[in-house]
Amino acid sequence: MLQGKKILLGVSGSIAAYKAATIVRLLVKEGADVKVIMTPAACDFITPLTLATLSKHEVPVTISDNQSWNNHVMLGRWADVMLIAPASANTIAKMANGFCDNLLLATYLSATCPVLFAPAMDEDMWHHTATRHNIEKLLSYGHKQLPVEKGELASGLFGEGRMAEPADIITYLHAHFEDKKPLTGKKALVTAGPTQEPLDPVRYISNHSSGKMGIAIAEALAAAGAEVTLVLGPTHLSSTVNTIRVVTAEDMLNNSKAHFYTSDVVVMAAAVADYRPKFVEDKKIKKGAGDELTLELEKTQDILRTLGTDRPAGQVLVGFSLETNNEQEYALKKLREKNLDLIVMNSLNDPGAGFNYDTNKVTLFDRNGVAKDLPLKSKQEVAKDIVTAITDILQSRNV
């Protein structure tokens, strides 16, 4: 798969830089032509001589060197793909904001090839809001992030932030260079997570959705080759695909509209509030003299119904139906009334299914109401099944 491919490996300052030697060795073993660029900080963890010996190419480090000052333009045009591994929090921040204070960053800004990056940092840094925003920026640029792993970190803590292992990185490169994925060239829109409808500056109405199922679907669509936009409600989770963060049902509707009409596939997996407070207080509601508080609610605009009535020809539209009773009856009603091609039904009565679990048990109903029951499995596996069903619909239409 990698025979003859030109891989430009950028190594930034992280303890995970020692893994760069294994990455280079595996790439060369597969027949790739590998060139390496290092930041000065990376040299504290592994020497340029080691990587030069393994890659059989000189490893430039400083942009001011007489022999390498213009290498960033040449290297950025030479590569079939630029892989930055490890990508430290500092380097990710600089990439996201266009900084150019070392040779690796100058080359990154000059690259005309696809860019993949493998983050490596401690867990608190990984979950910091600034890092999440920087990664979302890079994803919006069309770059691909390799998933981080959970394990022992350099700090001695155990958690997320470890760089993907070299063998897994090679697997991701294989996937990148695959000739044809089933949804290559297709655009997909996915909604996920809850919405929050404010009562006052302090309180809101919401639900227990974590967004796990929708995020899994977005990433499965991307793995199948689609260009995915994820509209994600308030959740601590994040995704490797291009993500738009929203809060209210109105936010979700407006941001979904912006992508709905250009999308070949739309999966509405979000748990959107059906009602919101009719009046939102501008100050915190205080305890009254009585023991009761009456709230007046109004319906939110039904996103799925609103968009489904004016959908583009050929688009595949998928909805979700999470129920506590009469599950099949309600799911089939929604399938018909909201003009869907596929509805995913699950029940809170099934152990291991529903909100916050890592597993799910669903039934898929196609446009004709034909059911396909799936056993309890991980949400990632359920997502793959849903993507397979979507792919089958597109192929049946010869789209």
* Residue 397, token pair as written in the block: 């239409």
Which one of 177, 204, 236 terminates a domain?
Answer: 177
Check the annotation: does 284 bind a ligand: yes
Q: Write out residues in the chain with pLDDT < 50, as ranges.
A: 69
Residue pair 148/162 in contact (Cβ under 8 Å)? The answer is yes
Q: What is the CATH number of the domain that holds 378?
A: 3.40.50.10300
Query: Quick one: which of 22, 392, 27 has its CA closest to 183?
Result: 392
Do residue 117 and residue 75 come from a single domain?
yes
Domain-located, residue 1: no
Give the strands of the sheet with 144-145, arranged side by side. Answer: 33-38, 6-11, 81-87, 115-119, 144-145
Question: What is the predicted pLDDT for the residue at 64?
Answer: 66
How far is it, in rounded angstroms, from Cα 284 to Cα 199? 9
Query: For position 30, which CATH number holds?
Result: 3.40.50.1950
The reply, when asked if residue 350 is annotated as ligand binding, is no
Decide if 46 is inside a domain.
yes
| 257 is an annotated ligand-binding site residue | no
> How many CB atoms neighbour CB 272 within 10 A?
23
Residues 80, 217: one domain?
A: no
Q: Is 384 annotated as a binding residue?
A: no
Whole-number Å distance between alpha carbons of 172 and 151: 20
In a domain, 287, yes or no: no
Using the 3D structure, point to which of 119, 142, 177 is the last residue of a domain: 177
The confidence score (pLDDT) of residue 121 equals 94
341 and 216 share one domain: yes
Specify the number of domains making up the chain: 2
Query: Are residues 324 and 343 part of one domain?
Result: yes
Q: Which of 138, 154, 177 is where one domain is finished?
A: 177
Check: CB of residue 8 under 8 Å from CB of residue 35.
yes
Tell me what pLDDT residue 71 has.
63
Residues labelled as active-site residues: 207
Quote the pLDDT of residue 140: 87
In the prediction, which pLDDT does 209 show?
A: 92
Q: What is the pLDDT of residue 41?
A: 96
- Tell me the CB-side half-sphere exposure of residue 235, using CA atoms within 13 A: 27
Instruction: Say if residue 60 is in the same domain as residue 129.
Output: yes
pLDDT the model gives residue 279 = 92
Per-residue tokens: 275 = 């009602």
Containing structural domain, residue 15: 6-177
In a domain, 50, yes or no: yes
Q: Give residue-wise pLDDT tens across range 236-270.
A: 998 889 999 999 999 999 999 999 999 999 999 99
Is residue 284 situated within a structural domain? no
Say if residue 200 is in the same domain as residue 239.
yes
78 shares a domain with 103: yes
Distance CA 344, CA 334 (A): 10
Do 105 and 86 lie in a common domain? yes
Q: Report the alpha-carbon distance of residue 269 to residue 318 in Å, rounded.
A: 8
Both 318 and 384 in one domain: the answer is yes
Does residue 283 sit within a domain? no
Question: CA–CA distance from 12 to each of 61, 152, 166, 168, 389 (Å)?
Answer: 10, 20, 15, 19, 41
Q: Does one domain contain both 302 and 363?
A: yes
- What residues contact residue 75 under an 8 Å CB cut-off, 6+ apart? 8, 35, 37, 107, 110
- Residue 285: inside a domain: no
What's residue 70's pLDDT? 56
Identify the pLDDT of residue 178: 72
Looking at the structure, tell me whether residues 258 and 384 fall in a common domain: yes
Q: What per-residue confidence (pLDDT) applies to 206?
A: 93
**Would you say 137 is a known binding-site residue?**
no
Statement to judge: residues 194 and 90 lie in one domain? no
Q: How many angstroms separate the Cα of 330 from the Cα of each of 205, 298, 326, 346? A: 24, 22, 6, 11
Q: Please check whether residue 347 lies inside any domain of the structure.
A: yes
pLDDT at 67: 56
